[in-house]
Amino acid sequence: MLAIVEAIRMWRPYLFRRKFFVQTDQRSLKYFLDQCVATPEQQKWLAKLMGYDYEIIYRPDSENSVADALSHQPNSPVLHHLHTTAVTLWDEIKGRVVIPSCVTLWTKLLHEAHNTKIGGHSSVLRTFKQLAQKFYWPKMHQFVQAYIKHCEACQKMKSETLYPAGLLHPLPIPSQVSDDITLDFVEGLPTSHDKDTILVVVDSFTYHPQTDGQTEVVNQCVEKYLHCFVHQWSHKWSTYIPWAELWYNKTFHASTGMTPFQALYGCLPHLFHNYRSGDSSLHEEDVTFDVGEMEFLKLHPYRQQLIFKRAHQKLVGHFYEPYPIIQKIGMVAYKLQLSEGARIHPIFHVSLLKKIVGDLGGYSTELPPVNDEGIILLEPQ
């Protein structure tokens, strides 16, 4: 039985998936598959023969004259011609079986190595490496590549790793601003003031054609900006959209060498208030008052003669009796304590106030008149 196992193992490439017959002069081997396997050696031999389609045929010694003749004549010229001192066949082909020029056999081997569950519709390189471990035939890699290229399952189920088909054509140059724009949405945001989506609009027309960037890049910039400011108050992101727009339009872009604002309008945005002393400052004077001081108040007559007519408008005084300052409002305004019944707003600009010089000696000027409905007939100048 051991001789049968070794012979089948040696000639496995020619016997696998084929029905073959084993002739032996030992009668007991004919019933080997039908009898109870008792020893571990028999179990091991039986496991090695599983998967082969074979039949053991008993042939007595008297009928097996060819085998007896070969074994009884060790000095046969034929055996002497075939005999070699060292087996070099497997060493020369690196342990692989050379397949003759048989396309049908090549196709069957490829089907087993590629289309079956073990093959798994692998790539050209993986299928070739799997076959090259045991087999060889001329132009084997090209045949494997052509076979997988025509595989229906691979064509339908696998995505191509090539570059997208078709040549890239430049877009036509727009003739005016906002003639060619791209739109995109930033979705998946938390609700902020009943809003959950950002509409991103990119104008492709600028003074420089290279500013036609990708809208997706702008989306990423806006998202990063919002991440930095609203990571703790995600529901307030909508209040930062105007600031994000200003930030992006005034930010320098290396691809264009300028900001988007400058590329569109041809000038830089006014981000910082640059104070420069001009000619007007030469005629201005910084006047300040302290709380508690008494100051004159300047008013101008309201010339509406149909309501209240006052004679001799030219002789009316320009300043009214001094009033104490009770509070400073801002940098150039003061609140005065007017007399009771005065129907005028108590806050005045510094230009309407005048410092008192010397002792007035009780001189007093009345407040401007009002009509019966309480409407002031004088207004600050």
pLDDT at 358: 65
DSSP state of 94: T
Question: Are residues 303 and 365 located together in one domain of the fold?
Answer: yes
**What are phi and psi for residue 319, nearest 5 degrees?**
-125, 145
Which residue numbers in the chain have pLDDT < 70? 33-35, 37-38, 64-94, 162-174, 204-214, 271-285, 297, 299-319, 341, 358-381
Q: Is residue 272 part of a domain?
A: no
Q: Is residue 365 part of a domain?
A: yes
pLDDT at 304: 30
Residues 96 and 132 sit within 8 Å (Cβ to Cβ): yes
Q: Is residue 277 part of a domain?
A: no
Token pair of 248, please? Answer: 């992006």
Question: Are residues 185 and 261 located together in one domain of the fold?
Answer: yes
Q: Is residue 75 part of a domain?
A: yes
Residues 250 and 261 sit within 8 Å (Cβ to Cβ): yes
- pLDDT tens, position by position, 115-155: 988 888 888 999 999 998 889 999 999 999 999 988 888 88
- If phi > 0 it is left, if psi is from -120 to 50 it is alpha, else beta; for residue 365 that is beta
Question: Are residues 146 and 67 located together in one domain of the fold?
Answer: no
Distance CA 299, CA 284 (A): 21
Q: Is residue 92 part of a domain?
A: no
Q: Is residue 324 part of a domain?
A: yes
Question: CA triplet 86, 90, 95: central angle to 5 degrees?
Answer: 155
Question: Are residues 102 and 79 located together in one domain of the fold?
Answer: no
Number of domains observed in the structure of the chain: 4
Q: Which of 317, 366, 358 is nearest to 338 (CA)?
A: 366
- pLDDT tens, position by position, 165-203: 666 666 666 677 777 777 888 888 888 888 888 888 887
Question: Are residues 258 and 293 located together in one domain of the fold?
Answer: no
Question: Are residues 123 and 206 located together in one domain of the fold?
Answer: no
Distance CA 12, CA 52 (A): 9
Question: Are residues 61 and 141 located together in one domain of the fold?
Answer: no
Q: Is residue 51 part of a domain?
A: yes
pLDDT at 359: 66
Q: Is residue 173 part of a domain?
A: no
pLDDT at 141: 94
* Burial of 36: CB neighbours in 10 Å, binned 0-12, 13-18, 19+: exposed
End-to-end CA distance of the chain: 128
Domain range for 203: 181-265
